[in-house]
Amino acid sequence: MTKSWESDIKELKTTINAEYNWSVGACMERFFRELKNRKLTGVQCSACKKVYVPPRMICEYCFAETKDWVEVGPSGTIRSYTYGNVSVDTDVGGLKNQDEPEIIALIQLDKADSCIVHRIKEIDIADLKVDMRVEVVWADETAGKLADINYFKPVK
């Protein structure tokens, strides 16, 4: 039961501003560098031969090192999708309405075994389908950053 003295208590709003310096690791470093060259890269497990994108140093299934670099994409296949009529308000939390729904998809790039999550443009929502073929659209200028991958669009 809410006790009488609990009602009408002022809320104290406090903020934690924390900036972290993440080492991206050797694999992601190479992934970022290759973005500048407009290449999508994955790594292959030395044991099970699965190709991971984004790349990482260990295959958790085999507990083996991933050693061989594989160029993946630039096309891929939509394995699942959604579009958001809302988005998370990254300033204060909660949901806010999204004027233009953003289409998000799980995309399995060609030659990769895993999927990445990215946005799809140049398509009507009604035409979206699982198993649809899409291709990467690069930023006008690539700089070795995540934003180099602008979006994916249907393969014509």
Q: How far apart are CA 33 and CA 31, in angstroms?
A: 6
Q: Which is nearer to another protein, 94 or 99 (CB)?
A: 94
Q: Which is nearer to another protein, 100 or 156 (CB)?
A: 100
Q: Is residue 57 within the footprint of another protein (CB under 8 A)?
A: no
Q: Is residue 126 within the footprint of another protein (CB under 8 A)?
A: no
Q: Is residue 52 within the footprint of another protein (CB under 8 A)?
A: yes
Strand order in the sheet with 51-52: 51-52, 40-45, 64-72, 58-59
Q: Which residues contact 152 (CB under 8 A, 6 or more apart)?
A: 76, 105, 107, 118, 119, 120, 121, 134, 135, 136, 137
Q: Is residue 151 within the footprint of another protein (CB under 8 A)?
A: no
* Residue 64 CB, nearest approach to another protein (Å): 15
Q: Which is nearer to another protein, 34 or 81 (CB)?
A: 81
Q: Is residue 115 within the footprint of another protein (CB under 8 A)?
A: yes
Q: Is residue 58 within the footprint of another protein (CB under 8 A)?
A: no
**CA proximity to 42, closest of 98, 96, 136, 115:** 115
Alpha helices, DSSP H, located in the chain: 25-36
**CA proximity to 71, closest of 111, 41, 50, 100:** 41
Q: Are 70 and 104 in contact (CB under 8 A)?
A: no
Q: Is residue 106 within the footprint of another protein (CB under 8 A)?
A: yes
Q: Is residue 92 within the footprint of another protein (CB under 8 A)?
A: yes
Q: By CB under 8 A, name the binding residues for another protein.
A: 1-2, 6-9, 14, 16, 20, 22, 24-25, 28, 52-54, 60, 79-88, 90, 92-95, 102, 104-106, 108, 113-119, 130, 146
